[in-house]
Amino acid sequence: MSYLLPMDLHSHSENSMDANHPVQEMCEAAIKKGIAIYAITDHYEVGGFEGEDFDFDGYLEKSVKEIQAAKDKYKDQLRLLTGIELGQPLEDIARAEKILASHPFDFVLGSMHNAPGRRDIYFYDPADKDYDLDKELEFYFVHLLDVIRWGLFDSASHLTYPFRYIMERQKKPYPFRRWDDHLDTIVRTIAEKGLAMELNTSGITKNPSHTLPEARWIHRFKELGGEKLTLGADAHVPQKVGSGILQGLEIALAAGFRYLCYFEKRQPQYVKIQS
Ligand SMILES: [Zn+2]
Ligand SMILES: [Zn+2]
């Protein structure tokens, strides 16, 4: 089979609290878009989700089971990986470790949507005068470094996650470079620990176009000795599967990467980037 895109290692099915499409539908979108290696990475928010009563254990069980069935069904068309997006693992480390041991995952994304005790930056409202955005970002990046230091995941997902919502919600420009020192330490720690870093292409089709993190951090990761780069579109609907991956490939090549990384049974594997 010939493929158009080497991978998309980040997407959500109806087994995530914020997505509504079955695993099979997402896989069929991946096949249609010519993706060779595809991962469903449903959310597991270790500290819970915004006080809502979402049954993460039940949905994880269902996700893993349905991915396994889809692996069999589409085995001649798609290399499907059993993934998970593990959010806020430090909120309950014992639980996080138990989850990771409880299922035969291929691939674990480590992510942070909110610092402990803080709200997800998704809820950021620029009109709220009591909201101290810089203070929230400080909490975010300090805690994200702790998550990276813990490091029991495969790829560090969407490092600049809060920027997505700042760009969407705020009319005036925001000085993102204010956080460069924090990000430099985070990217260095990922490289030093031999972890993978994700180039999340979810924002690429938006205006202004941006990857998470920006291209210059992929260059920096390479410069600091980082070797494992994963690409993911973070699709929550079938139409977004593979979105921005071509541009992600260009960024990876320009940064000096010749191989992309994916994981099987949590072991890194490499595919050459066809330029
Ligand atoms: Zn996420
Ligand atoms: Zn995600």
Ion ligand 1: residues, CB within 5 A, are 111
Ligand of minimum distance to the alpha carbon of 110? 1
CATH superfamily of 5-272: Metal-dependent hydrolases (3.20.20.140)
**Half-sphere exposure of residue 172: CA atoms within 13 angstroms, side-chain side:** 3
- Ligand 2 centroid to residue 108 C-alpha, Å: 11
Among 116-125, 156-165, 232-241, 244-253, whose mean pLDDT is lowest? 116-125
CB-based contact 255:235 (threshold 8 Å):
no
pLDDT at position 207, please? 60
Record the tokens describing residue 72, joined without a space.
């069999």
Q: Distance between CA atoms of 119 and 229, rounded to whole angstroms?
A: 29
pTM of the prediction? Answer: 0.96
Fill in the DSSP letter of residue 157.
Answer: -
- Cis amide prior to 173 (ω within 30 degrees): no
- With b meaning 16 or more CB within 10 Å and e meaning fewer, what string describes 229-258? bbbbbbbbebebbbbbbebbbebbeebebe
Domain boundaries, the chain: 5-272
Cα of 144 from ligand 1 centre, angstroms: 13
**Residue 242: per-residue pLDDT:** 97
Beta bridge partners of 8: 38
Distance 39 CA to ligand 2 centre (A): 11
The per-residue pLDDT for range 101-159, each reduced to its tens digit, is 999 999 999 999 998 888 888 888 888 888 899 999 999 999 999 999 999 999 999 99
| Structure tokens belonging to residue 226 | 């980082």
| Spacing, Cα 12 to ligand 2 middle (Å) | 6
Model confidence over 48-100: pLDDT tens digits? 887 678 999 999 999 999 999 999 999 999 999 999 999 999 999 999 999 99
Q: Residue 185 corresponds to which tokens in the numbers above? A: 């330490």
Q: Give the Å distance between the CA of 98 and the centre of ligand 1.
A: 20
Greatest alpha-carbon pair distance for the chain in Å reads 55
CB 91 within 8 A of CB 46: yes
